[in-house]
Amino acid sequence: MSLVKKSTHPHSTDSIPSSVPPAIPTSIRRSIRSHHQPQYLKDYFCGLIHSSHLPVEYHALVSTLTKYTEPRPYEEASKELEWVAAMEKEIDALMLNQTWEYADLPPRKRALSKKWVYKVKLEPNGTLERLKARLII
């Protein structure tokens, strides 16, 4: 059996005699630290798909949230009477506040681009407060 110089590195195979094969670890070390949700997130239910995982008092809120959806494009919102009424209310408010007025464009000029943004507003208990449409120019 031959001896070799010991290495300072703890996992080096230089310190093992040449005739003995290196040992293969049989198990992986697992952390014994406990894993738990941080205290500041205790009131939130993130990533839950089914409301059956929630306490009973949240079932009505979840069903309300899934009942009302916010349309993305104008074409989708214009097919629902509730969203059309919300858009008309926004236009009426802009006219009443004299924020905008209808005008003809000068020749060879283009109008500013616009976008509708839709939001479902809920009461604290989860009931529908209103459907809100906002015109962004």
pLDDT digits (tens, 9 = 90+) for 70-129: 888 999 999 999 999 999 999 999 989 988 888 889 999 988 888 999 998 888 777 788
Rounded to an integer, what distance in angstroms lies between the CA atom of residue 79 and that of residue 73? 11
| Predicted pLDDT at 47 | 55
Look at residue 61 and tell me whether its pLDDT is greater than 80. no
| Predicted pLDDT at 67 | 74
**With bands split at pLDDT 50, 70 and 90, how would you rate the model's confidence at 19?**
low
Q: What is the mean pLDDT of residues 26-39?
A: 75
For residues 19 and 27, the model is more confident at 27
Nearest alpha-carbon partner for 117 in 67, 70, 69, 65: 70
Nearest alpha-carbon partner for 68 in 119, 116, 115, 133: 119
Rounded to an integer, what distance in angstroms lies between the CA atom of residue 135 and that of residue 137? 6
| Predicted pLDDT at 2 | 39
| Predicted pLDDT at 40 | 77
Rounded to an integer, what distance in angstroms lies between the CA atom of residue 3 and that of residue 12? 15
Rounded to an integer, what distance in angstroms lies between the CA atom of residue 99 and that of residue 91? 10
Q: What is the mean pLDDT of residues 39-45?
A: 70
Residues with Cβ within 8 Å of residue 4, at least 6 apart in sequence: 14, 15, 16, 17, 18
**Model-level pTM?**
0.53
Look at residue 6 and tell me whether its pLDDT is greater than 60. no
| Predicted pLDDT at 22 | 63
Residue 116 near residue 134 (C-beta atoms within 8 A):
yes
Look at residue 14 and tell me whether its pLDDT is greater than 70. no
